[in-house]
């Protein structure tokens, strides 16, 4: 195991469990801040392991590996939300400072726990129910009408673990699995399914905030996220034509949730923008929570005074937070998904030549169709132009257009 090297002068080591692109994108800000990183990586060629000197290979489910890793770090944070509760408990028992804490993280790991808690603290959510049986599903569907959205409470991301269904039969396998999980007292469906009304939304928004253990908090502007086949493909920062009152209440809700749940680090609240059925007033309902830097915040790397990866490091170290102010009227982020060719470099040359203002961010990942392998940001004053530029670059890097 390569030990992390500490910068002289009293500087700390931040451990990140998981070596994906979120850990990788901490590397630049960490180097500038003289904060050392250590990453518990899935493999020697994991995205983050390519760029961070201390990247021991180990599984986030292996208690011994995680404890040995954490012993060399001052604080530990996460590249993803999949560290099992027993591993988190072992870390906590050893006194390892964890950000976010296991007590907070459970609300990002378990969507049923999240819905219960948000409802308790009066945050607007879609109509929802916990369902263990076909009868539970029928009852809920009678209230909200078919189709409904069904989710596995644990383990889903990027649309996985989510189904839009028009009948109870389409959930037969999940209900069966819920029975066996419940019998065993473990598994993603041990508490049943989360059912939600299918929200008739105007668009999707995200509020990204950071909160430190000292309770300092900072919020970036509310952004619009565009999803394609359940994957975020584009982010517009700030959300165009957003009602100022909605922006204020959505931001207030995210900050309130962060405080109530005790979140530390960067925290994303994905929301639907809806209309009050009676008054037509713009409102939000909360869709998902993520307790880490998030795809909806990648724009901030180039578009804000303090990008989300720098802010996450500052937050988990309880350093004063940086300004989340935007640096341009608009920044557009487009995700680069893997296409059907392996050599990315020629396309990369092309997009750089076409657009000298483009900021290209790649994750060092091999190309597989549909895999998030990078993103581009572009900032300026003409939103339509920025969207065209970002989308062209992303499409070209994906191989969708070859011009």
What is the binding site for its own copies (CB under 8 A)?
Answer: 5, 7-12, 24-25, 27-34, 36, 44-45, 49-53, 55, 218, 301, 305-306, 314, 319-323, 325, 327-328, 342-346, 348-349, 352-353, 356-367, 374, 379
Nearer to its own copies, 36 or 308 (CB): 36
Q: Which residues contact 27 (CB under 8 A, 6 or more apart)?
A: 37, 48, 51, 52
Nearer to its own copies, 29 or 153 (CB): 29
Q: Minimum CB separation from its own copies for residue 166, in Å?
A: 41
Q: Which helix (H) or strand (E) holds 368?
A: none
Nearer to its own copies, 110 or 302 (CB): 302
Closest by CA to 112, choosing from 134, 92, 132, 98, is: 132
Nearer to its own copies, 192 or 324 (CB): 324
Q: Minimum CB separation from its own copies for residue 396, in Å?
A: 13
Sign of the Cα pseudo-torsion (89, 175, 139, 204, in order) = positive
Q: Minimum CB separation from its own copies for residue 386, in Å?
A: 13
Closest by CA to 268, choosing from 94, 83, 108, 55, is: 108
Q: Minimum CB separation from its own copies for residue 20, in Å?
A: 13
Nearer to its own copies, 244 or 346 (CB): 346
Coil, strand, or helix at residue 341?
coil
Nearer to its own copies, 291 or 313 (CB): 313
Q: Which helix (H) or strand (E) holds 36?
A: strand 36-40
Q: Minimum CB separation from its own copies for residue 133, in Å?
A: 47
Nearer to its own copies, 12 or 192 (CB): 12
Nearer to its own copies, 319 or 383 (CB): 319
Provide the b/e sequence for 145-171 (b: ≥16 CB within 10 Å).
eeebbbbbbbebeeeebbeebeebeeb
Task: Give yes or no for a contact between 251 and 259, defined as CB atoms under 8 angstroms apart.
Answer: no
Q: Minimum CB separation from its own copies for residue 115, in Å?
A: 34
Q: Minimum CB separation from its own copies for residue 15, in Å?
A: 16
Q: Minimum CB separation from its own copies for residue 219, in Å?
A: 13
Q: Minimum CB separation from its own copies for residue 226, in Å?
A: 23
The residue behind tokens 């919020």 is: 219
**At residue 199, what are phi and psi to the nearest 5 degrees?**
-75, 130
Token pair belonging to 171? 């959930």
Nearer to its own copies, 34 or 134 (CB): 34
Coil, strand, or helix at residue 108?
helix
Task: Give yes or no for a contact between 292 and 109, defined as CB atoms under 8 angstroms apart.
Answer: no
Coil, strand, or helix at residue 78?
strand
How far apart CA 206 and CA 298 sit, in angstroms, is 12
Q: Which residues contact 125 (CB under 8 A, 6 or more apart)?
A: 115, 118, 119, 285, 286
Task: Give yes or no for a contact between 18 and 79, defined as CB atoms under 8 angstroms apart.
Answer: yes
Q: Minimum CB separation from its own copies for residue 324, in Å?
A: 9
Nearer to its own copies, 282 or 338 (CB): 338
């Amino acid at each position: 195991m390569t030990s992390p090297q500490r910068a002289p002068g009293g500087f700390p080591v931040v451990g990140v469990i998981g070596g994906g692109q979120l850990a990788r994108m901490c590397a630049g800000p960490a180097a500038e801040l003289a904060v050392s990183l250590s990453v518990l990586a899935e493999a020697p060629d994991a995205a983050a392991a390519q760029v961070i000197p201390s990247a021991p290979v180990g599984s986030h489910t292996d208690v011994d590996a995680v404890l040995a890793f954490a012993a060399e770090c001052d604080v530990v944070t996460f590249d993803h939300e999949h560290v099992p509760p027993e591993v988190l408990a072992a870390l906590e028992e050893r006194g390892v400072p964890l950000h976010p804490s296991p007590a907070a993280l459970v609300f990002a790991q378990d969507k049923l726990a999240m819905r219960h808690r948000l409802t308790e603290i009066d945050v607007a959510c879609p109509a929802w129910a916990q369902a263990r049986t076909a009868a539970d599903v029928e009852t809920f569907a009678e209230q909200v009408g078919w189709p409904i959205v069904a989710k596995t409470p644990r383990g889903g991301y990027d649309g996985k673990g989510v189904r839009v269904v028009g009948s109870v039969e389409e959930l037969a396998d999940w209900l069966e699995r819920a029975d066996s999980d419940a019998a065993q007292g473990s598994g993603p469906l041990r508490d049943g399914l989360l059912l939600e009304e299918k929200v008739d939304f105007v668009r999707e928004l995200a509020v990204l905030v950071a909160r430190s253990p000292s309770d300092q908090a900072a919020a970036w502007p509310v952004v619009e996220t565009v999803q394609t086949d359940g994957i975020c493909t584009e982010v517009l920062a700030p959300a165009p034509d957003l009602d100022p009152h909605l922006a204020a209440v959505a931001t207030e809700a995210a900050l309130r949730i962060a405080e109530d749940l005790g979140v530390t680090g960067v925290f994303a609240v994905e929301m639907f923008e809806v209309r009050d059925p009676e008054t037509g007033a713009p409102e939000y309902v909360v869709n998902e929570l993520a307790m880490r830097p998030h795809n909806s915040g990648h724009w901030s790397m180039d578009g804000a005074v303090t990008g989300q990866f720098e802010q996450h490091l500052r937050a988990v170290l309880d350093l004063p937070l940086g300004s989340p102010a935007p640096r341009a009227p608009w920044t557009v982020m487009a995700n680069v998904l893997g296409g059907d060719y392996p050599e990315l470099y020629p396309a990369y040359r092309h997009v750089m030549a076409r657009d000298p203002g483009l900021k290209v961010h790649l994750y060092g990942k091999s190309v597989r169709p549909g895999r998030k392998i990078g993103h581009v940001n572009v900032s300026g004053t003409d939103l339509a132009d920025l969207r065209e530029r970002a989308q062209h670059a992303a499409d070209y890097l994906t191989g969708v257009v070859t011009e």
